[in-house]
Amino acid sequence: MIYRPYRNERVRLVGGRRVTNFGPIRGPEVRNRLDRSARAHVVVADLRSIGVSEYGSPVGGGLELFCNGQPMTLARWPNEGFVRIAEIAAPLDRTVHGRKGSRIGKFVYEGDRPRRWLQEPDLWLHGYWFWDWSDQRQKVKSIDVEKKTIELQPPYHHYGYRKGQWYYAFNALSEIDSPGEWYLDRQKGRLYFWPPQPVERSEAIVSVLPSLVRMRDVSHVTLRGFMLEATRGTAVTIRGGEAVRVEGCTLRNAGAWAVTVAGGRHHVVRSCDIFGTGGGGISLSGGNRRTLTPGGHQACNNHIHHYARWYRMYHPGIALTGVGNRACHNLIHHAPHQALTFGGNDHVIEWNEIHHVCLESNDAGAVYCGRDWTMRGTVIRNNYFHHITGFQNCGCMGVYLDDMFCGTRIEGNVFYKVTRAAFIGGGRDNAIVNNIFVDCRPAVHVDARAMSWASYHVNTTMTQRLKAMPYTKPPWSERYPRLVTILDDDPAAPKGNLIARNICVGGRWDEIEAKARPLITFRDNLIDVDPQFVDADHQDFRLKKSSPAFRMGFEPIPFDQIGLFRDDLRRSVTKPMETGKEP
């Protein structure tokens, strides 16, 4: 069964309600709280009069405002970016990796901006309070303008608070000071809005429904060619069933994910445009790890960008879990954290283009997995990673095999201007082969963390996860024979890693911990020798026939096949090598 628009009409499934009753603000009480620059521009609407009275939380999963298809900004300061914690105003009772902080959320701010927040009844801060990969939104308990301190309401952040970390304030009527900002008085149901265009000629929508399409144990159904938007949660959820397809749809402005698949077999998300989601793009979970039975789900030829508006960390463009799922020919870009994560076994990640991700974090990877000896067999091949340098260009990773992750093959990829492009964080039995690294610093990283600061994981998390799987019995023992004897083979050591037939030009070749280097097999890598690219200035990293790389056994990477492709649902695409410009 196929659900699609009649005669290719434009059909929108909208999970919100249009707001048309905006009018001027009357009375000085609210006007005086507004920034002077905003008073002539802000309008107000009574949501209760149009039947909207449940608003949810201001920290994600609640009501949002969209105007002309764009998500509007819940009033905040600063309007972009962050400010830093000047000092911690509580005992420094927490030290992690030599960095001191406090378990208590009380700190000193700079400047005098918080003085205008004293009348805000529901003020929140969003911060990266201790690490730049762990954020949390927290309600303000009190502000002392004499001591210049802000105290947060418990429960406090799990990792604590540290000087120099960053935050911003939001959900403040007094901070509406630019077009596109809004604030909701949740007690009275009044929506205040500075519209970016005249509101009478705009389409303003507030999200209401938690989801748009839910399928449970449904098989052989296709959803094709719709626009789905303005939900508070995930737009499309699929549980169980077989061969459900979401094709050629535009999924935008959802409060959580665009599409989630949990269980079932052979579900496909193909040729969709996904952007503006509050969480990630596509989550595919399927297969049986104990039997290594593949799920067979696919995310293919999707353009996923500007996602994770609310849930900034660990909500990637695509997430693969379980066994035997595939992400191919996707274009993923502009996100605060990861492009693609995987957990489980035997996934395939291929032909994707990924750029400008990890924009709000540094200890992060465009492709990420971590902390498990048993999650083996995934292949990451023929992808193009470029312009991935972390928050404030402080560095992140291209492919990040974190905390002793094992048995992954990184093959035939092109990395251009990526810090720590291929990163092995103490794991074993990984292969980095036949890749091209251009202006990466470094191209390859391998450490031996389980032999030093991360050794506590070996006899705890790592061993527990190992014993949770039947790794000594078929099909595990046949599929992963090296795993059978791992506990008897110095499990903390990063053994069995292969780095071979790679090309590295510019940047820096490697960053290898001394304990790890003797355990690595290096073979036939071409370092700082002109490989004779077709046109590197225009990001065409195909090799000329005369390239010296072929003499060492390098296999050509079909660079022009990477990324989106034209099909019956996607009529036009642009490749980096076709434009000759950096995105």
Residues 66 and 187 placed together within one structural domain of the fold = yes
What is the average per-residue pLDDT within 20-49?
A: 95
Residue type, 532: Q
Q: Rg of the chain over CA atoms, in angstroms?
A: 25
Per-residue DSSP letter, 458:
I
Which of 45-54, 359-368, 390-399, 448-457 is least confident? Answer: 390-399
353 found inside a domain: no
Q: Residue 108's closest CA among 91, 90, 89, 82?
A: 89
Q: What span, in angstroms and rounded, lies between the C-alpha atoms of 225 and 247?
A: 7
Q: What span, in angstroms and rounded, lies between the C-alpha atoms of 245 and 569?
A: 13
Considering 186, 205, 224, which residue would you say is the last residue of a domain?
Answer: 205
Residues 381 and 491 placed together within one structural domain of the fold = yes
Q: Residue 280's closest CA among 353, 332, 345?
A: 332
Residues 52 and 126 placed together within one structural domain of the fold = no
What is the average per-residue pLDDT within 482-495?
A: 98
Q: Are 46 and 19 in contact (CB under 8 A)?
A: no
Residues 482 and 533 placed together within one structural domain of the fold = yes
Residues 133 and 170 placed together within one structural domain of the fold = yes
350 found inside a domain: no
pLDDT for 137 equals 98
Q: What is the pLDDT of residues 196-240, one digit of tens each?
A: 999 999 999 999 999 999 999 999 999 999 999 999 999 999 999
Residues 146 and 159 placed together within one structural domain of the fold = yes
pLDDT for 576 equals 63
Residue 283 structure tokens: 């989550």
277 found inside a domain: yes
- Residue 580 reports pLDDT greater than 50: no
Q: Look up the domain containing 134 and give its range.
A: 83-174
Q: What is the pLDDT of residues 254-310, one digit of tens each?
A: 999 999 999 999 999 999 999 999 999 999 999 999 999 999 999 999 999 999 999
Q: Are 517 and 450 in contact (CB under 8 A)?
A: no
110 found inside a domain: yes
Residues 195 and 140 placed together within one structural domain of the fold = no
Reported confidence tier of residue 342, pLDDT bands at 50, 70, 90: very high
548 preceded by cis ω (within 30°)? no
pLDDT for 97 equals 87
pLDDT for 577 equals 54
Residue % of the chain over a pLDDT of 70: 98
- Residue 448 reports pLDDT greater than 70: yes
- Considering its fold, how many domains does the chain have in total? 4
Residues 189 and 275 placed together within one structural domain of the fold = no
Residues 230 and 157 placed together within one structural domain of the fold = no
Q: What is the pLDDT of residues 493-549, one digit of tens each?
A: 999 999 999 999 999 999 999 999 999 999 999 999 999 999 999 999 999 999 999
The structure's pTM equals 0.96
342 found inside a domain: no
